[in-house]
Structure 1
Amino acid sequence: MNAASSTKTHDPHFKVDYWSAESILRHPDFPHARRAYFDKVLALYGDDPFLNKLLMEAVRIVVFAVAICMEAGYRPNDRDTWPTIGNLKKALALFGLASPRRIEQIVGRLVQTDFLESRVSPLDRRARLLIPTARMLTHDQDWLIAHYAPLAVLFGESDYALPLKGDKAFQRAQRQVATGIFVQSAMVLLRNPDILLFLVHDAGIFVLIELAREALNRETPTADLSLAQLGRRFAVSRTHVRQLLSAAEERELVKIDQVRRQITLRPRLLTSLDRFIAEGMSNHDLTGAAAKRQLEPGKT
């Protein structure tokens, strides 16, 4: 199969065609796209302990992304779109990942670290709007590049030129469009309990990606296991990594060989990881196509 012989899915709401997760998974070059995803996502954080600690956990990542999307979709004449802490909590309730108090703590930390600003609304001084800073938007551009690069591996760079070059108009349009698929995005997490186990632990998904990348580089499902090295890499303790991987072993997602200091990722986990990657790619393709359409002359 190749891109020319496959058929895109049509979305009637956004009126665009996009690649489904099934088409992405069936593509013969999906292993190369997966490798690009691993490399780009891990490089997104590099060796920055502060950034790792601040964002490397599902709840914080989702709060970060939803806050940007909400501000991009903000319409002053519609209070339901205002990027307030109350509306943010409503949107995040779809994901079922955090309590309202936990969301408040994360938002407070993002404000303290100059990723968000809390401003008084010019229309209602009782309301405070959460506005992404230049620092937050720059990191978000890097995030979009990391998630559109795997699509470019499969289907060519021309369709993804705007996100790959960090186009600011595309970034805002894509994030605005993404407010319309919050439920769809939440389901990528909620219907994949194997991956959700890693997502709800600090740096858990990145530990998994690091192990999967090493295993696939060896062309086996087995990787060397160093709890200390993984802890240093992602700014968490070795105890934290041990507890995470022990929980995965209890669910029969991995097999740990303490003598050889190796870990084997079981087929079910690798299949779940591929599904998670493909569904994320499909959602980005959908929102990217809708954003490009929105940027066409005469569109709003």
Structure 2
Amino acid sequence: MSGEAGFATSEAITALCEQPRFPRAIRATASGLSSMHHGRHLLNWLMDDRGRMLLGYLAIYLHATRDPRDSSSGLTPTRIKALCTEFDVCSPGRAGAMLSLMRFSGYLTPDIDIIDRRQRRLVATDKLYALLRSRLKLHYTAMAPLFADGEAMLAALDDKIVDGALVAAMVKRYRAGFRLVSAAPELGLFGERNGGMLILASLIAAGQEDDTVPPSRPVPISIAALARRFAVSRPHVLKLIREAEERGFLERPGPDLRVVVLKPALIDATQRFFAASYLFLADSMREAMAVSERRRKAG
């Protein structure tokens, strides 16, 4: 694992966190993620938040970078399992189970043009592209005011030529050693739990308009509502909240669990995580836009 990426240095992260519009970007991202999620029980059983997100991008990457001259290239179970192992996303067994669920849900389909059926090549469907594009649009819309070229990056999402180039740029940075969690390793408690990051996003979004972002004043919490919304069990949510308390991330100001307070350690880690995420997406999109422009000029 290499050190900090050139585009997401500690100085760059601090500078972004200090921008006046940064809190509004976090609130927009957290609110959007919390609102757009629809409970998927089977997916939650198989993968954590980080794994579900990355596997979708890896599927698009393998599909988009297939070489027509190489019959072994493209999106195959073997190749995506290898990437999941390389990036420490999940075990090969879980990756295989996730692929089966993605096929069942219509995100992947067998390649009907394949000659050798032993290759079991898959194709990313428009449904998968639409899902990931909607998630990316949420992020780029929220972060656009933070960058001079933010509006250009947002507009580029409508260019289908950019799709494959953007995901390829993301994977390139992961191969170079970048990891979102490196900027805020404390958030592993949430990122490695089913629904964990979505629960954190929900707490951030629950803050009042005149509060800081993430909120520093008490926010309401309902274990039952979070469990229903994010398709996890009540004991799962309760265990996550209690562990966050034990680590000094959350505090209950009263004897019952109706409100919680986000502690400075969690607020700081969350800000660093979002800043690194925005810098990663910005750097990846700039490369994708440059690749797209070169391809246009080449005809």
With the shorter chain as reference, the TM-score category is: 0.7 to 0.9
Specify the alignment match of 2:278 in structure 1: 281
**Contact 2:109–2:125 under 8 Å retained in 1:** yes
Specify the alignment match of 1:181 in structure 2: 173
Secondary structure at the aligned position of 1:49 is classed as coil
Counterpart among 275, 294, 299 of residue 291 in structure 2: 294
* Pairing of 1:33-112 with structure 2 (within 5 A): 33-45=25-37, 48-50=38-40, 57-77=49-69, 82-112=74-104
Residues in 2 aligned to 1:182 and 1:79: alpha-carbon distance in whole angstroms:
25
Specify the alignment match of 2:237 in structure 1: 241
Q: CA deviation at 1:237?
A: 2.0
Q: CA deviation at 1:186?
A: 5.6
Code of the residue aligned with 1:225 in structure 2: it is I
* Pairing of 1:1-300 with structure 2 (within 5 A): 20-45=12-37, 48-50=38-40, 57-77=49-69, 82-119=74-111, 122=114, 124-155=116-147, 157-163=150-156, 166-183=158-175, 187-189=179-181, 192-215=184-207, 217=209, 219=211, 220-221=215-216, 222-256=218-252, 257-259=254-256, 261-296=258-293, 297-298=296-297
Secondary structure at the aligned position of 1:122 is classed as coil
Code of the residue aligned with 1:275 in structure 2: it is R
Q: CA deviation at 1:185?
A: 7.3
Alignment CA distance shift 1:171-1:96 (3 Å): same
Q: CA deviation at 1:107?
A: 1.0
Gaps (5+ residues) in structure 2? none
- The count of corresponding residues between Structure 1 and Structure 2 is 282
Larger strand share, 1 or 2: 1
Residues in 2 aligned to 1:10 and 1:271: alpha-carbon distance in whole angstroms:
21
Aligned Cα RMSD in Å?
Answer: 2.9
Gaps (5+ residues) in structure 1? 1-8, 12-18
Task: Give me the TM-score of the superposition, normalised by structure 1.
Answer: 0.82
Code of the residue aligned with 1:132 in structure 2: it is A
Secondary structure at the aligned position of 2:179 is classed as helix
**Contact 1:21–1:281 under 8 Å retained in 2:** no
Alignment CA distance shift 1:76-1:258 (3 Å): farther
Alignment CA distance shift 1:58-1:243 (3 Å): same
Residues in 1 aligned to 2:112 and 2:119: alpha-carbon distance in whole angstroms:
6
Secondary structure at the aligned position of 1:76 is classed as coil
**Contact 1:145–1:163 under 8 Å retained in 2:** no
Residues in 2 aligned to 1:233 and 1:67: alpha-carbon distance in whole angstroms:
26
Q: CA deviation at 1:162?
A: 2.4
